[in-house]
């Protein structure tokens, strides 16, 4: 009888408040944790275009527009507010630097190390703050014939650990490069590395999940399984547009973005139960990150510290699926901490726990194959065939270059340029690092 009552409530016009005119806009004006260990409410809530997040053994997070709390109360749900206002919470917030202070710290680091660091402003946030990326390379002012890699953090403003770890990672890379650390020398001398410490400075500055428009940026990208399946930035949040326009100019082949609320590596797809291409390799790379992080590889809820996104919880408009589907940039989502906003004095320990994984995962960009043409304006299609006759592609390439993460083996790369030329390359993919 209770389930029938709930269904009738959901069918009532009054309970369609969460529906929006555009699928890629997701409100985060209110957020709650719903205690629902048996997951009885999940199927019903999924019908209401509400953001479900971080499902665990106790329940799940849910986000939506004003009125969500009243909605949950009327359903008889047991829930608590995810926006605490206690004095302890306020003291935790006060320990962290502001977005402006973080940017100044990064700018100072770049200014002191112009030979290997370069800062680029790729756009403005909803509230007019800089959206900046740091390039790390031994020839930082030139576009070299090297694989391209990126890290993006803090797209959810209330998941702060990633932002702090990216700043520490930048500082650590510089320090170890000056000390001639072999792994760091390899990374910087043979890779074009891009790090975006905060995709959502408005959210972190206001200590909330959404951006300055109360939108969830990780539900704001094109999604190949929905009506919003055209890879265009038009009509999206400014932060999303900035990342989309920037990525369109690059040739990333491996990346990760950072969140908080659990400790696990989430791999594609998030939006469908179908397996993503090269899922076996994606799981290997995810495990490679999780393997050295305490509390992640030995996570009892997520064996081995990895989970398929869709099997955990379904989302549409996520960045990792967009990056992999539309740009062939294999991206995973790393949940760094069970607490989204831990005490600031715990940040050094989080960095120590993740520092090896951050560098080792980055270096995995070299487990791939590709080519670099003399004509940087050349574009076209690429097909790869392994010695086992596994076929990958066709993939688009642009800017005269292409690089794809692949399983270990021998490959034939067939290239057809838009100018009509056909080229063939033989490549061997290993897990050894460039010398």
Which residues are the active-site residues? 335
Distance CA 206, CA 198 (A): 13
Q: Could you tell me how many residues make up the chain?
A: 435
Whether omega for the bond prior to residue 269 falls within 30 degrees of 0, making it cis, is yes
Backbone angles phi, psi at 43, to 5 degrees: -60, -35
Give the residue carrying structure tokens 């549409």.
316
Assess contact for 230 and 222: CB atoms under 8 A.
Answer: yes
∠ at Cα 412 (411, 417), nearest 5°? 135
Distance CA 306, CA 423 (A): 39
Going by C-alpha positions, the residue among 43, 49, 48, 45 that lies closest to residue 23 is: 49
Distance CA 154, CA 163 (A): 5
∠ at Cα 209 (11, 325), nearest 5°? 80
Question: Which two tokens mark 401?
Answer: 């270059």
Whether omega for the bond prior to residue 394 falls within 30 degrees of 0, making it cis, is yes
Bridge partners of 426, per DSSP, are 412
Q: What is the DSSP letter of 264?
A: E
Helix residue spans in 158-266 (DSSP H) = 161-178, 182-190, 201-205, 238-247
Distance CA 34, CA 52 (A): 10
CA–CA distance from 329 to each of 29, 272, 368 (Å)? 31, 18, 12
Using DSSP bridges, classify how beta strands 252-259 and 330-335 pair: parallel, antiparallel or unpaired.
parallel
First vs last Cα of the chain: how many Å apart? 68
Assess contact for 283 and 309: CB atoms under 8 A.
Answer: no
């Amino acid at each position: 009888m209770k389930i029938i009552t709930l269904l009738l409530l959901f069918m009532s016009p009054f309970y369609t408040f969460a529906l929006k005119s555009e699928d890629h806009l997701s409100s985060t004006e209110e957020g709650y944790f719903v205690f629902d260990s048996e997951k009885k409410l999940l199927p019903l809530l999924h019908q209401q275009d509400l953001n479900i997040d971080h499902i665990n053994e106790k329940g799940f997070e849910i986000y939506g527009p004003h009125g969500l709390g009243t909605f949950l109360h009327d359903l008889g749900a047991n829930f608590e507010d995810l926006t605490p206002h206690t004095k302890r919470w306020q003291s935790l917030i006060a320990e962290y630097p502001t977005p402006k202070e973080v940017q100044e710290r990064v700018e100072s680091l770049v200014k002191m190390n112009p030979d290997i660091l370069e800062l680029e402003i790729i756009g403005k946030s909803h509230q007019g703050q800089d959206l900046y990326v740091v390039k790390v390379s031994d020839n930082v002012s030139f576009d070299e014939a090297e694989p391209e890699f990126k890290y993006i953090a803090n797209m959810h403003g209330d998941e702060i650990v990633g932002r702090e770890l990216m700043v520490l990672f930048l500082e650590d890379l510089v320090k170890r490069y000056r000390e001639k650390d072999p792994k760091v020398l390899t990374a910087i001398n043979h890779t074009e590395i891009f790090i975006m410490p905060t995709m959502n400075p408005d959210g972190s500055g206001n200590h909330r999940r959404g951006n300055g428009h109360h939108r969830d940026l990780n539900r704001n990208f094109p999604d190949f399984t929905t009506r919003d399946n055209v890879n265009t930035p038009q009509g999206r949040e400014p932060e999303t547009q900035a990342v989309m326009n920037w990525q369109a100019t690059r040739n990333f082949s491996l990346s990760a973005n950072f969140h908080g609320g659990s400790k696990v590596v989430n791999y594609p797809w998030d939006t469908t139960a179908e397996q993503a291409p090269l899922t076996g390799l994606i799981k290997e790379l995810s495990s490679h990150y999780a393997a050295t992080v305490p509390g992640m590889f030995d996570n009892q809820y997520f064996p081995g510290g990895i989970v398929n996104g869709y099997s955990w919880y379904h989302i549409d408009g996520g960045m990792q699926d967009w990056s992999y589907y539309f740009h062939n940039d294999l991206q995973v989502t790393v949940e760094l901490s069970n607490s989204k906003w831990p005490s600031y004095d715990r940040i050094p320990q989080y960095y120590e726990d993740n520092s090896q994984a951050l560098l080792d995962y980055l270096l995995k960009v070299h487990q791939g194959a590709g080519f670099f043409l003399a004509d940087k304006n050349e574009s076209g299609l690429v097909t790869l065939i392994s010695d086992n006759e596994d076929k990958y592609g066709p993939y688009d390439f642009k800017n005269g270059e292409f690089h794809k993460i692949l399983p270990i083996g021998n490959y034939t790369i067939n290239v057809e340029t838009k100018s009509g030329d056909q080229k063939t390359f033989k490549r061997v993919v290993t897990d050894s690092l460039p010398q």
